[in-house]
């Protein structure tokens, strides 16, 4: 589908030869014009791309979640002010302002969406995946989150309330999932390997220890 | 505006299809568009609210038929042209015809990227006391602004409860309509599933939006 963000058939056919697709030609033209006018520095563009491909990603959020699982003072600080807690702990220098952590319990499952665009806590999770930006996720999550979760393979007990956070302002939400069972004695670094990106959006659950082996 | 971007509660878009081992960008041009959008943002010729509005201004058929970064590309071209920073002829030629006009901000340097890409905070000193407090019942007003708003249609007219307060933030509606920040109190307002979706609601569901004070009235 075109809306899924990677319509290779239409955009990338040019990679098979030297011919560029229409969209690639537009992007190249725009970058050249902006560079010639002195509005962008291509080296800065390289650096931004590199930042999101290698430095800013879900490992930041995973470190915060794992720390909260082993450190109750950090957990309290995270739930009180996630931006401050993550910066103070040195997990990320720039976790973004107005970051709010919401905690799952056996009776409450949080899930985050942006129905109006694609708001996402990218400073701690990286850029959003295509599914988060998809029309299906944006339209359905506020109305039928259990069906959406089922498409991620998550089936919650009927006794678990589903709590949907629609990110309609500059507040950003990070789900603090429940610590998996059978992880007694694990340190934060090892626990972080269980924390998936989707579990911090609320569209998934952390991995079980058995899944690592 | 009551645009196609306001998707909450719509049916017909199919299933959600997570991709395993998804790359950050599916083609190099996507990264260039993302990076150009961020770099041009530092020129301070428009802010994030205006940027969102210009995505919303895409004709519905274009919006729905474009990929995410195609929408970003078209938005960037459109805004640059609207602000006379680049011309249609230059985009067609793929080269600048001359220097562009001066800009309010500055050109993003590689070292700036390492200093953090997060934007400046959006909270502001409160110009007036908050009208509502945590626990108050509030109704999302039945408003249909013709320009930018962050109050989704699916909550308008419905009653919820103030769950959190976030201080005063820049008011996106005002930024787009008049250029003023007009800071407003921002609340997380939570609705019961049944209040929004009636008998079609899933059991045990609550939904919140972050709503600026002008979106709300006492209920």
Percent of chain A at pLDDT above 70? 91
Residue A175: what are its φ and ψ, rounded to 5°?
-85, 130
> Are A61 and A174 within 8 A, CB to CB?
yes
Residue A88 burial (CB count, 10 A): 12
Q: How sure is the predictor about A9, in pLDDT bands with cuts at 50, 70 and 90?
A: very low
Residue B177 burial (CB count, 10 A): 17
Domain final residue, candidates A33, A54, A75: A54
Q: For A201-213, what is each residue's pLDDT tens digit?
A: 999 999 999 887 6
Range scoring the smallest mean pLDDT among A6-10, A75-79, A144-148: A6-10
Burial A173-196 (b: 16+ CB within 10 A, else e): bbbbbebbeebeebebeebbbbbb
Q: For B92-124, what is each residue's pLDDT tens digit?
A: 999 999 999 999 998 999 999 977 677 788 999
Average pLDDT of the residues in B83-90: 97
Same domain, A78 and A157: yes
Closest CA to B9 of B191, B186, B161, B149: B191
Angle at CA of residue A102, ends A149 and A204, nearest 5°: 25
Answer whether A3 sits within 8 Å of B67, measured CB to CB: yes
Q: How sure is the predictor about A17, in pLDDT bands with cuts at 50, 70 and 90?
A: low
Residues of chain B in contact with residue A153, where contact means CB-CB under 8 angstroms, are none
Strand partners, B217: B139
> Are A169 and B150 within 8 A, CB to CB?
yes
Same domain, A103 and A187: yes
Answer whether B65 sits within 8 Å of A2, measured CB to CB: yes
Query: Which of left, alpha, beta for B8 (phi over 0: left; psi -120 to 50: alpha)?
Result: beta
Residues 6 or more apart whose CB falls under 8 angstroms from that of A150 comprise none
Residue A209 burial (CB count, 10 A): 16
CA–CA separation, A63 vs A87, rounded Å?
12
Domain span at A39? 2-54
Same domain, A70 and A43: no
Chain B nearest C-alpha distance from A184 (Å): 29
When CB atoms are compared, the residue of B33, B201, B210 closest to A169 is B210
pLDDT value, residue A2:
46
Please check whether the domain covering B123-218 is classified as CATH 3.20.20.70: no
pLDDT value, residue A16:
53
Active site residues of A: 114, 117-119
Residue A151 buriedness (CB in 10 A; 0-12 / 13-18 / 19+): middle
pLDDT value, residue A8:
43
Average pLDDT of the residues in B54-67: 98
| Distances, alpha carbon B89 to alpha carbons A31, A33, B73, B207, in Å | 15, 11, 17, 47
Long-range contacts from B172-175, C-beta under 8 angstroms, 24+ separation: B172/A169, B172/B49, B172/B52, B172/B148, B172/B212, B173/B145, B173/B147, B173/B148, B173/B149, B173/B212, B173/B214, B175/B47, B175/B49, B175/B50, B175/B148
Residues of chain B in contact with residue A117, where contact means CB-CB under 8 angstroms, are 5, 52, 55
Q: For B69-82, what is each residue's pLDDT tens digit?
A: 999 999 999 999 99
What is the total count of domains within chain A?
Answer: 2
pLDDT at A10 over 60: no
Q: For A87-144, what is each residue's pLDDT tens digit?
A: 999 999 889 889 999 999 999 999 999 999 999 999 999 999 999 999 999 999 999 9
CA–CA separation, A200 vs A173, rounded Å?
9
Average pLDDT of the residues in A31-37: 98
Strand partners, A103: A176
Range scoring the smallest mean pLDDT among A9-13, B18-22, B181-185: A9-13
Closest CA to B194 of B177, B206, B210: B206
Same domain, A77 and A133: yes
When CB atoms are compared, the residue of A5, A41, A139 closest to B10 is A139
pLDDT value, residue B6:
98
The CATH topology of domain B28-114 is Cyclin A; domain 1 (1.10.472)
Question: Which residue would you say has higher pLDDT here, B168 or A213?
Answer: B168
Same domain, A109 and A196: yes
Residue A151: which CATH number?
3.90.330.10
Average pLDDT of the residues in B32-54: 96
When CB atoms are compared, the residue of A30, A97, A138 closest to B91 is A30
Same domain, A81 and A172: yes
CA–CA separation, B172 vs B122, rounded Å?
10
Average pLDDT of the residues in A66-89: 98
Same domain, A37 and A89: no
Supply the mean pLDDT for chain B. 96
Same domain, A99 and A146: yes
**Closest-CA residue in chain A for B207?**
A164
> Are A203 and A149 within 8 A, CB to CB?
yes
pLDDT at A39 over 50: yes
Supply the mean pLDDT for chain A. 92
Answer whether B94 sits within 8 Å of A28, measured CB to CB: yes
Half-sphere exposure of A125 (CA within 13 A, CB side): 25
Same domain, A113 and A89: yes
Specify the pTM: 0.95
**Closest-CA residue in chain B for A31?**
B36
Answer whether B85 sits within 8 Å of A39, measured CB to CB: yes
Same domain, A10 and A69: no
pLDDT at B54 over 70: yes
Residues 6 or more apart whose CB falls under 8 angstroms from that of B199 comprise none
Q: What is the DSSP string of A58-108?
A: HHHHHHHHHHHHH-HHHHHHHHH-HHHHHHHTTS-S---SSEEEEE-BTTE
Closest CA to B52 of A207, A167, A125: A167
Kind of pairing, strands B205-212 and B184-192? Answer: antiparallel
Same domain, A77 and A31: no
Same domain, A199 and A175: yes
């Amino acid at each position: 589908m075109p809306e899924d963000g990677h319509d290779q058939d239409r955009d990338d056919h040019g990679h098979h030869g030297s011919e560029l697709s229409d969209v690639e030609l537009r992007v190249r033209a725009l970058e050249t014009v902006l560079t010639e006018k002195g509005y962008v520095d291509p080296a800065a563009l390289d650096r931004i791309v590199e930042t999101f491909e290698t430095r800013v990603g879900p490992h930041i959020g995973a470190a915060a979640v794992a720390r909260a699982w082993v450190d109750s003072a950090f957990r309290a600080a995270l739930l009180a002010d996630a931006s401050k807690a993550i910066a103070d702990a040195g997990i990320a220098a720039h976790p973004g302002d107005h970051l709010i952590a919401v905690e799952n319990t056996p009776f409450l499952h949080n899930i985050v969406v942006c129905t109006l665009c694609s708001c996402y806590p990218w400073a701690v999770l990286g850029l959003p995946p295509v599914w988060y930006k998809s029309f299906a996720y944006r339209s359905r999550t506020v109305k039928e989150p259990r069906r959406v979760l089922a498409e991620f393979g998550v089936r919650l007990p009927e006794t678990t309330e589903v709590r949907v956070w629609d990110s309609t302002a500059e507040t950003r939400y990070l789900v603090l999932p429940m610590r998996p069972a059978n992880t007694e004695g694990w340190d934060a670094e090892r626990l972080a390997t269980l924390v998936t990106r989707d579990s911090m959006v609320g569209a998934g659950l952390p991995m079980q220890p058995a899944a690592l082996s | 505006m009551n645009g196609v971007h306001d998707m909450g509660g719509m049916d017909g878009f199919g299933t959600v299809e997570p991709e395993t081992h998804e790359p950050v960008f599916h083609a190099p041009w996507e990264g260039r568009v993302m990076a150009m959008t961020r770099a041009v943002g530092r020129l301070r010729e428009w802010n994030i609210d205006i940027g969102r509005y210009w995505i919303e201004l895409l004709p519905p058929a274009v919006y729905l038929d474009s990929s995410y970064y195609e929408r970003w590309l078209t938005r960037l071209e459109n805004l640059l042209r609207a602000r006379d920073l680049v011309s249609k002829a230059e985009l067609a030629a793929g080269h600048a015809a001359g220097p562009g006009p001066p800009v309010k901000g500055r050109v993003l340097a590689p070292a700036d990227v390492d200093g953090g890409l997060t934007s400046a905070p959006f909270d502001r000193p409160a110009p007036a006391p908050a009208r509502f407090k945590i626990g108050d019942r509030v109704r999302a007003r039945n408003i249909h602004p013709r320009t930018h708003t962050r109050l989704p249609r699916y909550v308008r007219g419905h009653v919820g409860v103030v769950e959190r307060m976030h201080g005063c933030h820049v008011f996106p509606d005002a930024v787009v309509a008049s250029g003023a920040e007009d800071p407003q109190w921002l609340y997380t307002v939570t609705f019961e599933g049944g209040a929004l979706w009636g008998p079609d609601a899933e059991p045990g569901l609550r939904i919140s939006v972050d709503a600026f004070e002008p979106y709300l009235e006492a209920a």
